[in-house]
């Protein structure tokens, strides 16, 4: 839009002396360069996109809030209050906090069998809570390894999921660190804990 205004001999932006509002309205994202009637069209587009986004995320609302609330209430006879706060809100809060532990506890507590010079560590509690993401020292030492763990089929649902997607043909080009590469790295920079 600024190019079109400049080509027509008009000034594409308002002078700064007209104040901050004039500067924002005169900017490419503001309203100063629109032709008459364009603002209504743009608002329609914005609202249409808001509605579409809300519909796209409706499945997330169902799976995060409605289903965990309604199942205990309807099937087990739990009160609606307990169903909402325990099965929905508390479950979601716990899962978020366990996920965030990957970048806090897994950088502070545990051993470093692959590289003792970096802060990420192996933390079995984080591995259990974050569904296999606690093999943090390995993940940072071998970032190309899709399984994020030397022990691919131990408790690592993330690896299981990627393997299933590969079996279905939905994932390709999985890369793994080789045993000799892992052993050499452990001997060279590991802390001797594994």
Model confidence pLDDT, tens digit, residues 99-143: 888 888 888 899 999 999 999 998 888 888 887 777 889 989 999
Instruction: Give the three-state DSSP class for 155.
Output: coil
Burial label, 142 (beta-carbon count in 10 A; 0-12, 13-18, 19+): buried
pTM of the predicted structure, to 2 decimals: 0.59
Domain ranges of the chain: 2-48, 58-101, 105-189
What DSSP designation does 116 have? T
**What's the pLDDT at 81?**
94
What's the half-sphere exposure (Cβ side, CA atoms, 13 Å) at 155?
A: 13
Model confidence pLDDT, tens digit, residues 18-49: 544 444 444 444 445 455 555 556 667 777 77
Residues 6+ apart with CB under 8 A from 140: 115, 118, 120
């Amino acid at each position: 839009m600024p190019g079109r205004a400049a080509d027509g001999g008009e000034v594409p932006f308002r002078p700064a002396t007209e104040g901050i509002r004039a500067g924002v309205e005169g900017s490419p994202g503001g309203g100063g360069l629109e032709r008459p009637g364009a603002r209504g069209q743009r608002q329609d587009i914005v609202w249409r996109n808001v509605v579409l986004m809300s519909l796209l995320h409706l499945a997330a609302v169902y799976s995060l809030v409605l289903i965990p609330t309604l199942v205990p209430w309807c099937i087990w006879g739990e009160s609606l209050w307990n169903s909402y706060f325990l099965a929905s809100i508390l479950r979601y809060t716990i899962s978020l906090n366990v996920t965030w532990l990957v970048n806090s506890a897994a950088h502070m507590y545990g051993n470093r069998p692959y590289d003792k010079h970096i802060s990420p560590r192996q933390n079995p509690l984080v591995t259990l809570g974050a569904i296999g993401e606690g093999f943090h020292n390995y993940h940072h030492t071998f970032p190309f390894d899709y399984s994020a763990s030397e022990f691919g089929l131990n408790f690592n649902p993330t690896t299981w999921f990627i393997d299933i997607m590969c079996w279905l043909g939905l994932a390709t080009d999985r890369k793994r660190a080789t045993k000799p590469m892992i052993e050499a790295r452990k001997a060279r920079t590991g802390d001797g804990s594994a």
